[in-house]
Each structure stands twice: as structure tokens, then as C-alpha cells.
Amino acid sequence: MIARLWWVMLAGSVAIFALVMVLLALAFRKPAGPSGEAADQRRERVWIMGLGIGFSLAVLGALLVWGLAAGERLLPRPAPDLVTVRAEARQWAWDFGYADAPDRVTRNVLHIPAGRPVDVEITATDVIHSFWVPRLAGKLDAIPGHVNTLRIEAWEPGEYAGVSAEFSGTGYRDHVFTVIAHDPAGWDDFIAREAP
Amino acid sequence: MTALRLHRKLDPIWASDPGFRGWFTTVNNNDIGKIFLMTATAFFVIGGILAMLIRAQLATPESAFMGPAVYNQVFTMHGTIMMFLFAIPFFEALTVYLLPGMLGTRDLAFPRLSSYGFWCYFIGSSTMVVALVLGVAPQGGWFMYPPLSSTIGSPGIPADIWLLGISFVEVSAISAAVEVVVTVLRYRAAGMSLDKMPIFAWYMLVVAVMILTAFPPMILGSLLLELERAFGMPFFQVDSGGDALLWQHLFWLFGHPEVYIIFLPAAGAVSTILPVMARTTLLGYGWVVAAAVSLAVLSFGLWVHHMYTTGIPHMGLAFFSAASTLVAVPVGVQIFGWIGTLWKGRPQMHLPMLWIMGFFVTFVIGGLTGVMIAVVPFDWQVHDTHFIVAHLHYVLVGGFVFPMIAAIYYWLPVFSGRKRFFRMGETAFWLAVPGFHVTFLAVHWAGLLGQRRRTDSYDPGQGWEVINLIASIGSFVMAIGFALVIVDVAINALIASRGRRNPWGAGTLEWATALPSPSYNIASIPVVDSRYPMHTDPDLPNRIARGEGFLGEPIRNRRETLAVSTARGDPLQVVVFPQNSVVPFVMAVVTSVIFIAPIFKLYWLMFVAAFGVMVLSMRWVWVLGSRHDEGALDAGRGVSLPSASEVADPPGWWGSLFLLLADAVLFGSALFGYAFLWTVAPNWPPPAYLQPGVAGPALALGGAALALAGPRLAERRLRGGDTPYAGLVLGAAGLGALMAACVMVMRALPDPSAHAYDATVWVLSGYVLFHAGLAAIMAGFVMARGRAGFLSPRRFGELRVVRLWADYAVLTGLIALAAIYLPGLGT
């Protein structure tokens, strides 16, 4: 869905950019317009009130409403089959905990069930980091003392690459993790397994 | 009088000292503007070299050119230098140079402050470059988020160098801003009402007020973080009641307006140059001013859009997303206003215009990607990727560097008196602008493919190799282009042939004098009755040069200019400017010790230097004013005006007023921080609140009453022909009582490192202690001035300055102490 947002915004931007460039180019092609008070007032109406205020407001208003609606749809909502996991970042590792298996901690690998909504409760122990699995959701910061909740959902079982997305010092580049989405059997198996 | 004779009389009065010594004693805006511009350009070159190192590193995957420890310093310093040591100083330098000429006055309002500001900038930024060479440069990214930038993440001195060095450089920004505001409001040609001001002056007025209101949160943040690093006062440590997010709020409260602080001077240059290049006048002057003002106001409402990913509730994000998209409307008004201006006139593609076209193409793209990332869900994806890097370069390079190059070429005749002869500029343009687009279009793309910013290298096989190689090649072409611009400007400034006056046929007053502009800027101060006086009155330059304006004959043989009424530009006062002086330079050196000593934990040295600055400021002020009443002075054109030392609002009062505006924003930010920690930080409330008791509040209230009454009494007695000393002593005693109340608070909470609450109370009471102490010292100083004969029933303006500072100390003192006492009453 964010991909569609991007393509629509790109198309709109190209159109606006083209419009501005054409207007700019025409200014060099056409002869100077009439001068005088009345002509200037007419120009102010066209260029400033019309294009500057009217056009800008219309485009931006539409985009804003649409963007906010899209954002609402991405927010966590109550769901019956919700799974909750915990992500704790430090320099430079991720520890993941599971509400369904309280003793279990996995380092740098997050296990989730595919096809079910998952709430990731994100925090950090030292400096600020950010939890980002590009193919599953946007990023959300891991801040010491705060817990931020991100809703993710993997449609297909498989492995998804995750990275920390807030600069955190010399080990930042390799501060990465993997998300493994299990099918229902695999997930039950993971939860039931003894802690290592 | 002939023009030449007048020049020969004025020049010795206004000229700076000859030779090497003159570099350090000059207070002339032309000299300072030029060395300021050259220094800022040098930092552009240094920042550019760092940029090339970054692109060399990223050109190939798994690059072994730099390790993360070095790379982190390089990108941190690239951002820091370009933002703080190049962009802001560069437009300040341009303003210092151009503003007096444009406004038709002889210098900026506080000539020695220009010099002090420049030297603060020069010393502070050189210190940071030395740190880079020594390998101890800051490495936490240019926005220095704690805890990474606090003692936990950054032991050692690099982070201290950033915090103290940048704060020091901001002293210079605040100085320049005070100067620009007072100059624009009070020092103009006669009859130049606000609606007849050159549009550039309007933009710079808006920018200067923004600097005064946006920089203080950042200065406060740096101060708090330095207090945490040096003394363990835990403002950003969550375990002791702090919160790392407080820094992000304070930083972006500064950081977003900062973007417009950088853009607006460039927009001011475009609004000035573009109509001249189109042989017409700016379309919708009033609309453009309104757009600049609303842009400034809106820019303070959208700092949170840098923090979309910090977990702020979605409703809050909706508000800031709306504000962030709304801010595009005034930008749209300006863009279409400029295109409308081109339609109105006959645009010609001179070199400045070419760069303005580069600005249009680049900045419009940057604005559009800006609107995209104001959309919250999209930002969640691209935040902290190279897409953001590309966006900000489109905005800053397109919206600042390109228009500034246009400005340099446009005003080059004013700087050098020469016309452009060598034609390297066009070649440079066709290297730099296409090179820029190749680079940063590619960088957008890398960001969309998920490449994070600030990683020192990347693995092959993610589809990023070709994109990064293209970006790096483009960036080197761009760098060659910028280098050619610098070479081209340098040789045209130094060796091209002399040009004629007003080569572009511009309408504003900086073109009304001989070029390059003389030391006194304008031979006499003209009467102006339109926005484009050079168009409506072609003979104006000759009459100015013959001394037919105000103050056209230097009969008193001293540096004089006119102060006018703010709105209408009616002549009000004759201001006497100070002589050349080495005090600003010496004071900048001593001030630098205040900021450099704490890096090495030499706190005693810091206090010695602070004492030194106090003594030097007294020396600074001592030479102002007069020991005898002068009465009405002949200002030329048959008008008599009072001297500025015989009025109720001397220049020092105006300067104090706007300095206190910045100060009040700093104080407000501290209160915001207190409220923020109170409501958001996880480990609140603290174990116990301070119990106010009776003695402290009583002392504070009694002291406040005395401090308010004292200076007023002093003024009444002085103007009635009596001595003012009793009132001043009373005021100082009141301020002392206020200080005692603060000391009591600090003694009741002896350990400021125990909890963020204790630390905050210390900061608030320390703030009051400082300001009450400062006002008390000023009261004592004015008593000494009175004894030396500087006060009389006509010369009472200095008492007004003391009263202003005492009132401010009382006001903030009572608010701060109320904020400290009230929580304890509730428990």
C-alpha cells in the first residue's frame, strides 16, 4: 500500500514539476506583458492567489487527507489472533522475547507466525536504535525507558531481513537481524520447544 | 560641495586602520563582510572535501578506504560544517556587507558587535577543524542524539568539542541577528517606510527574528547535555528521571526553523535579483513579505516531523503532518510570484539568472519530495535512508547554494568594483548543476531501495552498486563545477577591468554609490519615496555624492548616522558610531576560553575568562555616550535632531531588547523542558519535591519589588535634577535578595545529579542567579558612569537599559521560582 502511495505521489510530483518548468520556459518565450497598476493586480490574482494559494492548497489538502487515512489503516487494532513479542536493542544486538513463551529469548532472530498480526514492543537498553523490517512495516524507534508498539504482519512464511535504522556508533552497519515467519505448525513447534 | 571633496573628508573619519593591525581593529561592515565571506567560503571548501571523501567511500561496496571510526567523524563534520560553519555564516556575511548600502545608512547598528561576532565564529569554527585534523572530531551525527552523544555513548572530548564549539559559533549568529534586526528597524534612509524597504531587508528581518527565537532551544539543549556530560546532571538519562527525547524536541525546535533560516536569505536574494534580470519589479511585494512571515511562523510548528518514528501518538502526528504540508503554501506563493514576475518582464539569461534557473529546477524537486515525506506512512518507510539525504541536499543546495552563487555574481561589482570579464562561470554552471542532479537523483533511488544513511559501507548484491557509483561520479563532476565557480569569482574580483556604476540597472540603494562601496557606504543619507529610488530618481546618486542628503557635511568630524522611526522612517536621532577598536577581537579571544576550557575540565579557567569578558564589556560600553549635553544637532537639510545619548531609547536599549527576546526564548525552552520531563519522562515524580518554606518566597517577592522600583526611582530623581544613586542601590539590593532566594533553593537540593528534577531546579535557579547578578552589576556600572559625568537630566537613556535588564531578571525570576516552589506546596 505504501508502494501505491509512492507511485501516486511520484506521478503527481512529476506533473507539478512539469507544470512549473513549462511556465518558467514560457516566460522566456513570450513578450513582456502590459504594465501598470491594473495589470499587476490581475497578475497577482492569477499567479499568487490562483496558483500560489489556490492550487497549492488544493493539492496539499487532498494529499494530507489521503496520507492520514492511509496512516490510520496501518495503526495497531485489537485482533483476536494477535501475537505479542518484545524487541530489545543494545549496541549492537537485538534480543527478542515472546509473550507466548516467557522464558524464551532469541538473539538477532525474531520468530513470528505468518498470516497473523504481531505486535512488536520495542525498547532499548543503552542508546537509541530503530526497528525496521522493510518488507513488513515502517520503522519505529527503540528508546531507553520507552516502549513503542509496532504492528507487523507477514503474509507468507519465510525469512525477512531487518536492520536497525538509527545511527548508533561504530557497530551500526552490522546491527541487523532476521525475522523468520513460520507456518502454523512451525510456530506451534517453536513455542512448544524447550528454551535452549 | 563636490563629490570628491566630500569623499576626502568622509573617508579618513570612517577608514579602518592601515596594514596588518587593521585586520584586528576594523569595525567597518565592508571589511568584516569580506573576511566573513572568505572564511565561510573556506569552510564550504572543507565541508566539500569531506563530502568527496564520503562519496569516495560509498562508490564501491565493502570499501576499505575508511573504517567506521573515521567515517563517522567525516559525515558528522560534513553536516556540522555545512550547516553551522558555512550556510549560516555565509548569508550573515552577505548581509553584513550589503545591508547598510541597501538601507541607505552608513554602517550596521553595532559595528563592534559585527567584529566580535566574526571573531567568535572564526575562532570557534577553527577549533572544530583542528579537532578534525587531530582525529578527535565529534562522531555522533550532526544532530547528536543522546544517549549516544552523552557519556554512555561518547566518552572523551569529541562530543564536548561539538557542544561547546557550536554554542560558541552560535554566539556569533545571535550577535549578527540582534544587529540585523536593530539595523533594519532603526537605521534606514529618511522616508524609507517599512513598505518601501528593499525586499531583501524584509527577508533578513524575518530571518534575524527567527535566529533569535530558534537558536535558543538548541543552545539550551547543548548546555544541558554538557552539564550532563560534565557534572552528571541527568537530563537525558532515563534511569534518573531524564528522557532522551527531550533532546530531540529541543534540537528540532531549532533544527526545523533552521532549514527556513537558511532558505529565506536565498529567497530574499532571488526576490531581489530576479526582477532586475527581468527588467521589471517584483510581483506582489506585499504577498511575498506575507509569505516569508507566515513561512517563519509555520516553521516553528513542524519540528515533530523529524520525529515521526519515535512513537508519538497518531493524532499528534496528524497535526504536525498538516502543518508540514501547509508550509508548502507560502513556498508556492513565492515560487509562483517569481514566475509571474518573469512573465511580467523581459527576462535575460545573464549568469546570475542562470543560477536562479538552477535553483528553480532543483528546489522545486526538493520541495515536492519534502511534501512526500511529510506524509506519515511514507516517512515511516524512508526515514533515515538515503532518500532523506537526497531530499535535504535538494533543498539546501538547490535552495541555498545555487541562489547564493547567483547573489555573488550579481553583487560582485559592489564587492570589487569590476565587471565580469572571464567567462568560466557558464562552464562551471553546466558542470555543477547537472552533476548535482546525477548524484542526488541516484541517491534518492538508493534510499528507496532501502540503503540506510550513515553506514560506512554496504554489502554487494543488494542492487546498490551501480547507483552508488553513478552518484559518486556525478558528485566529482559537481565538485569540479563548484571549484571553478570559486576560481572564477576570485579572478574576476581581483583582475577584471573596472566597471561602471549600477551595471544591472537595479533600483536599490546599494548601487547608488561608487563601486566598490566606500568605507562610509553612503556620502549623505538620502530621502527616499519609493521602493526603487534609483528608478524613480536617476539623479539620486549624484545628489547623494554631493552631500545633499542628511549628514552630508561631517562638521563634527566623527562617525555619525541617522536613526529613523521604525514604521515611517522619519529622522529621529543622530547616532555616533565608535572608533576602530581591538576590544572586540580581544573579547572574542577571551570568550573562546570560556568555551574551550570546559573541554579540558579547566573550570577555574572558565571563570577567570568569564570575569575577563565582564571587564572587557565594561571597557566596551565605557567609551559610548557623552560627558556633556550637546542639545539639538544640525543634521543637514535644515533639520536639527538630538544625539542618541540624549534620548529615552538609545541604541543599547534596542539591542538589549532583542537580545532579551532570544534570552526569553531560552528561558521558555527551559520551562518547556521542565514540563516535558514532568509529563513524559518515565521515572517521574522524583522522590521528593522541594519544600519552599516562608523565608525564600518572602525574600524573592520583597527583592522583586525593590528591583522594579529602584531603577524607576533613579530615573525620576535624575530627570528631576537629583542624583540617581539611591534608586540604583535599592535596585541592586533587591536583585541581591532575589539571588539569595535562588541560593536557598540550591542549598535545599544539594545534589543536582540525583534526579532530573534536582538538575532542572538548579538550571532554573542558576538562570535567575545569573540574570539578577548581571542586572546588579549593570546598576553598579551605571553608578560609576554617573560619577564620571556620563549622566545628566538629558542623558538618562542608560538608566532605561538597566531598568530593562532588571525588569527582565525580576519577571523570569518570579516565574522560575514559582515553577520551583509550586510542586512542593501540593504535597
Strand A101-107: give its sheet, edge to edge. Answer: A101-107, A93-98, A83-90, A118-124, A148-152
> Cβ contacts (< 8 Å) between B378 and chain A: which residues?
2, 5-6, 9, 67
The C-alpha of A194 sits at a distance from chain B's nearest C-alpha, in angstroms, of 34
Contact B368 A40 (CB under 8 A): no
**What is the rounded distance in angstroms from the CA atom of residue B564 to the CA atom of residue B752?**
49
Q: Answer whether residue B413 shows pLDDT above 60.
A: yes
The C-alpha of A78 sits at a distance from chain B's nearest C-alpha, in angstroms, of 16
Q: How far is CA B376 from CA B373, B381, B460, in A?
A: 7, 9, 31
Report the predicted TM-score, pTM, of the whole model to 2 decimal places: 0.95
Contact A17 B364 (CB under 8 A): yes
Most confident among B249-258, B266-275, B379-388 (mean pLDDT)? B266-275
**Smallest CA–CA distance from B452 into chain A, residue:** A165
Q: Answer whether residue B112 shows pLDDT above 90.
A: yes
| Contact A173/B at CB under 8 A | yes
Contact B318 A146 (CB under 8 A): no
> Cβ contacts (< 8 Å) between A39 and chain B: which residues?
344
DSSP state of B84: I
C-alpha cell at B344: 511580467
Q: Pick from A64, A138, A170: which is nearest to B68 by CB?
A: A170
Structural contact between residues B330 and B294, judged by C-beta atoms closer than 8 angstroms? yes
Q: How far is CA B530 from CA A138, B287, B536, B537, B551, in A?
A: 55, 18, 7, 9, 21
**pLDDT tier at B818, thresholds 50, 70, 90:** very high
Q: Answer whether residue B825 shows pLDDT above 60.
A: yes
The C-alpha of A195 sits at a distance from chain B's nearest C-alpha, in angstroms, of 30
**pLDDT tier at A80, thresholds 50, 70, 90:** confident
pLDDT of residue A64: 83
pLDDT of residue B661: 97
**pLDDT tier at A66, thresholds 50, 70, 90:** confident
State mean pLDDT over A114-127: 94
By mean pLDDT, which of B69-73, B313-317, B404-408, B772-776 is the weakest?
B313-317
Name residue B12's amino acid.
P
C-alpha cell at B112: 563592534
**pLDDT tier at B302, thresholds 50, 70, 90:** confident
DSSP state of B18: S
| Contact B290/A at CB under 8 A | no
How much is the mean pLDDT over chain A? 89
Per-residue pLDDT tens over the stretch A165-185: 999 999 999 999 999 999 999
B104: left (phi over 0), alpha (psi -120 to 50) or beta: left
pLDDT of residue B351: 95
pLDDT of residue A60: 87
What are the residue ranges of helices labelled H in B187-243? 199-231
Contact B450 A60 (CB under 8 A): no
Per-residue pLDDT tens over the stretch A144-160: 999 999 999 999 999 99
> Cβ contacts (< 8 Å) between A28 and chain B: which residues?
342, 347, 349
Q: Tell me the residue length of chain B.
A: 827
DSSP characters for B606-670? Answer: HHHHHHHHHHHHHHHHHTSS-SS---EEE-STT-EEEBGGGSSS-HHHHHHHHHHHHHHHHHHHH
The C-alpha of B86 sits at a distance from chain A's nearest C-alpha, in angstroms, of 24
Contact A2 B381 (CB under 8 A): yes
Q: Which of B78, B309, B448, B676 to mutate to test the interface with A (most CBs of A within 10 A)?
A: B309
C-alpha dihedral (B256, B257, B263, B267), degrees to nearest 10:
140
**What is the rounded distance in angstroms from the CA atom of residue B814 to the CA atom of residue B735?**
12
Cβ neighbors of B461 (< 8 A, separation 6 or more) are none
**Smallest CA–CA distance from A73 into chain B, residue:** B377
State mean pLDDT over A2-27: 89
Contact B368 A16 (CB under 8 A): yes
**What is the rounded distance in angstroms from the CA atom of residue B131 to the CA atom of residue B162?**
10
Structural contact between residues B305 and B321, judged by C-beta atoms closer than 8 angstroms? yes
DSSP characters for A20-65? Answer: HHHHHHHHHHSPP---SHHHHHHHIIIIIIIIIIIIHHHHHHHHHH
Q: Answer whether residue B446 shows pLDDT above 90.
A: yes
| Contact B380/A at CB under 8 A | yes
State mean pLDDT over B187-194: 96
Contact A2 B378 (CB under 8 A): yes
pLDDT of residue B318: 79
pLDDT of residue A1: 64
Q: Answer whether residue B462 shows pLDDT above 90.
A: no
The C-alpha of B650 sits at a distance from chain A's nearest C-alpha, in angstroms, of 41
**What is the rounded distance in angstroms from the CA atom of residue B806 to the CA atom of residue B791?**
19
pLDDT of residue B1: 67
By mean pLDDT, which of A63-72, B336-345, B500-509 is the weakest?
A63-72
Under DSSP, is residue B755 helix (H, G, I), strand (E, B) or coil? coil
Q: Answer whether residue A32 shows pLDDT above 80.
A: no
Q: Pick from A47, A67, A137: which is nearest to B283 by CB?
A: A47
| Contact B325/A at CB under 8 A | yes
Cβ neighbors of B407 (< 8 A, separation 6 or more) are B94, B266, B269, B273, B352
Neighbours of B711 (CB within 10 A): 29
Per-residue pLDDT tens over the stretch B651-707: 999 999 999 999 999 999 999 999 999 999 999 999 999 999 899 999 999 999 999
Contact A134 B345 (CB under 8 A): no
**pLDDT tier at B79, thresholds 50, 70, 90:** very high
The C-alpha of A184 sits at a distance from chain B's nearest C-alpha, in angstroms, of 28
By mean pLDDT, which of A64-68, A115-119, A132-136 is the weakest?
A64-68
The C-alpha of B29 sits at a distance from chain A's nearest C-alpha, in angstroms, of 36
C-alpha cell at A29: 518565450
pLDDT of residue A36: 82
Q: Answer whether residue B405 shows pLDDT above 90.
A: yes
The C-alpha of A114 sits at a distance from chain B's nearest C-alpha, in angstroms, of 21
| Contact A70/B at CB under 8 A | yes
By mean pLDDT, which of A59-73, B223-237, B497-511, B664-678 is the weakest?
A59-73
> Cβ contacts (< 8 Å) between A47 and chain B: which residues?
283-284, 336-337, 339-340, 343
How much is the mean pLDDT over chain B? 93
Per-residue pLDDT tens over the stretch B539-569: 999 999 999 999 999 999 999 999 999 999 9
Q: Which A residues, 8 through 47, put their C-beta within 8 Å of a C-beta on chain B?
A: 9, 13, 16-17, 20-21, 23-24, 26-28, 30-33, 35, 39-40, 43-44, 46-47
pLDDT of residue B724: 95
| Contact B371/A at CB under 8 A | yes
State ipTM: 0.91
C-alpha cell at B65: 578506504
The C-alpha of B262 sits at a distance from chain A's nearest C-alpha, in angstroms, of 22
Proportion of chain B in helix, strand, coil states, percent, rounded to 5? 70, 5, 25
**Smallest CA–CA distance from B75 into chain A, residue:** A167
Contact A134 B454 (CB under 8 A): no
| Contact A167/B at CB under 8 A | yes
State mean pLDDT over B330-336: 94
Nearest to B387 by CA among B320, B456, B467: B467
Q: Answer whether residue A109 shows pLDDT above 80.
A: yes
Q: Pick from A64, A148, A169: which is nearest to B325 by CB?
A: A64
- Counted across chains A and B, CB pairs separated by less than 8 A come out at 233
Q: Which B residues, 143 through 172, put their C-beta within 8 Å of a C-beta on chain A?
A: 145-148, 152-153
State mean pLDDT over A46-51: 89
> Cβ contacts (< 8 Å) between A72 and chain B: which residues?
314
Q: Pick from A51, A52, A60: which is nearest to B326 by CB?
A: A60
Cβ neighbors of B450 (< 8 A, separation 6 or more) are A134, B385, B462
Name residue B15's amino acid.
A
pLDDT of residue A5: 80
**What is the rounded distance in angstroms from the CA atom of residue A178 to the CA atom of residue A111?**
9
Nearest to B278 by CA among B349, B353, B346, B343: B346
**Distance between first and last Cα of chain B:** 79
- The percentage of chain B sitting over the pLDDT mark of 90, rounded to a whole number, equals 84
pLDDT of residue B3: 87
Contact A71 B332 (CB under 8 A): no
Q: Which of B277, B289, B336 to mutate to test the interface with A (most CBs of A within 10 A)?
A: B336
Radius of gyration of chain A (CA): 25
| Contact B450/A at CB under 8 A | yes
| Half-sphere exposure of residue B689: CA atoms within 13 angstroms, side-chain side | 15
**pLDDT tier at B645, thresholds 50, 70, 90:** very high
State mean pLDDT over B385-389: 94
**pLDDT tier at B417, thresholds 50, 70, 90:** confident
**Smallest CA–CA distance from B285 into chain A, residue:** A44
Contact B283 A44 (CB under 8 A): yes
Under DSSP, is residue B740 helix (H, G, I), strand (E, B) or coil? helix
> Cβ contacts (< 8 Å) between B337 and chain A: which residues?
47-48, 52
Under DSSP, is residue B417 helix (H, G, I), strand (E, B) or coil? coil
